[in-house]
């Protein structure tokens, strides 16, 4: 079977999005409307892989010098394909991609995989293919995840926090606007603690939420009508993922986040398969925030890994003569 590769162009918009909607390992992050909200920051070099005239896989990607990266504006990336595309085909597709990149003077391909909790069906064919291509593991993040199909275990300290929040008469609201949380809680916290800013501006979040209202949610917690905490949740078919979590440090003893996450886990998103608190890593995965990890695990979360790989494009040769 011979595959051909085409660089994404604007007239592929519908073809691309239709494929995303049918893939077994895609989420709304791969919709072109989501990928392109920050297109001025990256040089898009996404690829479409065909078997004759049939689209078999896509690779959301950006170009940086003579390297190709899984799209640098997305949390996760990697090769996206349908259930009909089996292991042998994925190996051949990776070989075709590496050959194409090598022929076009790309020295390396950087792949950040799609964590398994976002797969609609098992989709680790690409991991085996990368192993065969002698890809190098260059980063590993740990996601704190609750499997909502299993009985949940929450620590006594979290239960005390929930009781405290109830006694303080805290109120949770799902909001249509992100401005209050951004300006009152998130931005001040990131500035004071990390001298950083949110990845998304208020304008970007409001814009993305207008495009994907079923996927992007804002939850705020109030004490006496004043916002004290909140979280922004990205919802996929399988998973509720916390994109941002923050609270007012002057209201530490209200139990606001314990109260909020008990509601999200046991009520609002109880129908999902997974609840993903996100990473507690820094320094390309080499440092772990111990306190943050403990807080997430005290809700019953455990670890799922998110891997990042580097592969020489010349390693397409290593995918020759491997079948027995």
Mind listing the pLDDT tens digit for each residue in 2-45?
899 999 999 999 999 999 999 999 999 999 999 999 888 899 99
- Matching CATH number, 150-272, of 3.10.450.50, 3.30.70.20, 3.40.605.10, 3.40.630.30: 3.40.630.30
- Quick check: do 3-140+307-319 and 150-272 share a fold? yes
- Do 107 and 312 form a contact (C-beta atoms < 8 A)? yes
The count of other CB atoms within 10 Å of the CB of residue 249 is 11
- Do 296 and 145 form a contact (C-beta atoms < 8 A)? no
Is residue 106's pLDDT more than 80? yes
**Domains of the chain by residue range:** 3-140+307-319, 150-272
* 137-172 pLDDT tens trace: 999 999 999 999 998 889 999 999 999 999 999 999
Mean pLDDT of the chain: 95
Assigned fold of 3-140+307-319 = Aminopeptidase (3.40.630)
Long-range contacts, 35-41 (Cβ 8 Å, 24+): 35/60, 35/71, 35/73, 35/74, 37/204, 37/207, 37/208, 38/73, 38/204, 41/73
216-238 mean pLDDT: 97
């Amino acid at each position: 079977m011979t595959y051909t590769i085409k660089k994404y162009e604007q007239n592929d918009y519908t073809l691309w999005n239709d494929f995303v909607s049918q893939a077994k390992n895609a989420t709304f992050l791969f919709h072109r409307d989501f990928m392109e909200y920050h297109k001025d920051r990256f040089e898009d070099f996404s690829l479409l892989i065909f078997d004759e005239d049939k689209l078999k896989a896509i690779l959301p990607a950006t170009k940086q010098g003579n390297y190709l990266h899984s799209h640098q504006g997305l949390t996760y990336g990697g090769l996206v394909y349908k259930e009909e595309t089996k292991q042998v085909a994925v190996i051949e597709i990776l070989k075709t991609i590496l050959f194409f990149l090598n022929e076009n003077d790309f020295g390396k391909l950087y792949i950040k995989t799609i964590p398994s909790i976002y797969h609609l069906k098992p989709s680790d064919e690409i991991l085996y293919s990368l192993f065969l291509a002698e890809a190098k593991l260059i980063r590993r993040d740990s996601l704190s995840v609750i499997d909502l199909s299993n009985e949940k275990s929450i620590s006594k300290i979290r239960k005390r926090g929930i009781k405290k929040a109830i006694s303080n008469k805290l109120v949770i609201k799902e909001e249509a606007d992100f401005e209050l949380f951004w300006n009152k809680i998130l931005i001040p916290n990131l500035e004071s603690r990390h001298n950083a800013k949110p990845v998304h501006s208020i304008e970007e979040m409001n814009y993305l939420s207008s495009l994907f209202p079923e996927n992007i949610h804002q939850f705020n917690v109030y004490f006496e009508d004043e916002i004290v905490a909140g979280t922004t949740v990205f919802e996929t078919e399988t998973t509720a993922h916390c994109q941002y979590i923050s609270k007012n440090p002057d209201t530490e003893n209200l139990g606001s986040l314990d109260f909020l996450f008990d509601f999200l886990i046991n009520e609002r998103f109880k129908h999902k398969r997974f609840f993903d608190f996100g990473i507690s890593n820094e320094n390309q995965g080499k440092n772990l925030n111990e306190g943050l990890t403990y807080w997430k695990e005290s809700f019953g979360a455990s670890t799922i890994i998110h891997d990042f790989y580097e592969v020489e494009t010349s390693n397409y040769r290593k995918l020759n003569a491997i079948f027995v």
